[in-house]
């Protein structure tokens, strides 16, 4: 079989994405994760950005069951 | 052409599903223990434990802003959904980075491996170091110290896990994947167990708090987190596998060496 008609793909060992390709998405996903998990884990518990206890009350059961210190 | 964006979106989707499953598990297994703990708290049966709530404004008796019915359903659901979605997004992007860099693992195995590493380093190790307590146990006076210790342990565990993965990949080139993985796991365990030994511990569980309620709550907490991670790892892997197969990046057959030689 000649080179021209050889259509089988050759195994690619190289990673499909370079680090710089992934980095912006990694930063975005990490920021999203950190902000969300802050509100689930610590807001109006150990530390408060917002006044009152509404956030604490709303995520109360989730905070306990996801394993964070509470009260 | 797939980009890391496609991985992020599939991560968010898988996380949404994982959050739903985690809610189901938490509601079925965890809520009975939480209700039992609140009943103990409200009965004032704990002798050596000063009431940490003003009896007139107890946050868990239902007198406060969010009634128990909402806390245990929509409140819990929004907690597990937000946790699952954002965790899924992060794991999706990390899968894009790890693909092709975890030896010869395919995309499903990469996602599940990342989920397993995440479960051990983010959920299991902090759980072992500072096991969670149901309502009625934690003192409000110590919440700052307890949260700080928990997050120090969490940070140490995550840093140790990331380092173990990076160092393990270096070792893999010299020793092969098997011994490199074992060494990385051993190194991770050594560092996190040392952190556990060095950090101060605390136990605020009153002597007369029922052991069965505490056991059920902690078991439910661990199972909830395991359900979240396991569902996320499997579903994300499946979604990414289908994406890779559709866009031609998935299964790549071995090159036909005999043909090339001829």
| pLDDT greater than 90 at residue A4 | no
ipTM for the predicted complex comes to 0.85
Q: Using the predicted structure, report yes or no on whether residue B22 has a pLDDT greater than 70.
A: yes
Q: Sort out which chain B residues have CB atoms less than 8 A from A6's CB and list them.
A: 259-260
What are the tens digits of pLDDT across the range B95-132?
A: 999 999 998 899 999 999 999 999 999 999 999 999 99
State the average pLDDT for chain B. 89
Nearest-angstrom CA–CA distance, A63 and B10: 25
Give the pLDDT mean for B193-201.
96
The domain ranges of chain A are 19-65
Q: Residue B210: exposed, middle, or buried by beta-carbon count in 10 A (0-12, 13-18, 19+)? A: middle
B81 contacts: CB under 8 Å, gap ≥ 6: B16, B19, B20, B23
Beta-bridged to residue A43, according to DSSP, are A47
CB proximity list for B182: less than 8 A, separation 6 or greater = none
Which pLDDT score is estimated for A46? 85
Q: Would you tell me how many other CB atoms lie within 10 Å of the CB of residue B147?
A: 20
Q: Nearest by CB to B143, from A14, A40, A46: name it.
A: A46
Burial class (CB in 10 A: 0-12, 13-18, 19+), B37: buried
Q: What is the mean pLDDT of residues B52-57?
A: 43
pLDDT of A18 higher than 60: yes
Predicted pLDDT of residue B66 = 87
**pTM of the predicted protein model:** 0.87
Q: How near does any CA of chain A get to the CA of B32, in Å? A: 11
CA distances (Å), origin A6, targets A1, B160, B257: 7, 47, 12
CA B152 to CA A34: how far, in whole Å?
15
Q: Look at residue A9 in the predicted model and tell me its pLDDT.
A: 47
Q: Which residues of A touch B224 (CB under 8 A)?
A: 65-66
> Average pLDDT in the B42-67 region?
58
Angstrom distance (rounded) from CA B260 to CA B247: 26
What residues 6-35 of chain A have any CB closer than 8 A to a CB of chain B? 6, 8-17, 19, 21-22, 24-26, 28-30, 32-33
pLDDT of residue B228: 98
């Amino acid at each position: 079989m000649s080179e021209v008609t050889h259509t089988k793909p050759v195994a690619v060992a190289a990673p499909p994405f370079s680090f710089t390709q992934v980095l912006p998405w990694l930063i975005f996903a990490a920021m999203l994760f950190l902000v969300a998990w802050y509100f689930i884990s610590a807001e109006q518990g150990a530390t408060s950005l917002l006044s009152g206890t509404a956030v604490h009350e709303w995520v109360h059961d989730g905070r306990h069951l996801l394993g964070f210190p509470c009260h | 052409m797939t980009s890391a964006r496609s991985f992020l979106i599939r991560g968010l989707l898988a996380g949404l599903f994982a959050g739903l499953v985690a809610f189901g598990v938490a509601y079925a297994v965890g809520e009975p223990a939480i209700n039992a703990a609140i009943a103990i708290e409200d009965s004032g049966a704990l002798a050596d434990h000063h009431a940490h709530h003003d009896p007139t404004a107890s946050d868990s008796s239902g007198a406060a802003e969010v009634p128990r019915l909402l806390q245990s359903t929509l409140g819990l659901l929004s907690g597990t959904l937000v946790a699952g979605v954002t965790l899924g997004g992060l794991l999706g992007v990390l899968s894009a980075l790890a693909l092709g860099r975890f030896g010869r693992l395919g995309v499903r195995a990469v996602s599940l491996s990342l989920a397993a590493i995440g479960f051990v380093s983010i959920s299991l190790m902090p759980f072992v170091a500072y096991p969670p307590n149901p309502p009625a146990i934690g003192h409000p006076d110590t919440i700052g110290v307890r949260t700080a210790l928990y997050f120090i342990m969490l940070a140490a565990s995550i840093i140790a896990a990331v380092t173990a993965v990076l160092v393990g990949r270096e070792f893999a080139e010299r020793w092969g994947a098997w011994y490199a993985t074992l060494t990385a796991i051993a190194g991770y365990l050594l560092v996190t167990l040392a952190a556990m030994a060095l950090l101060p511990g605390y136990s605020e569980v009153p002597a007369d708090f029922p052991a069965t309620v505490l056991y059920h709550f902690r078991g439910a907490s661990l199972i909830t987190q395991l359900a979240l991670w396991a569902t996320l790892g499997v579903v994300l892997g499946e979604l990414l596998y289908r994406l890779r197969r559709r866009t031609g990046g998935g299964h790549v057959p071995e090159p036909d060496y005999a043909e090339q030689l001829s």
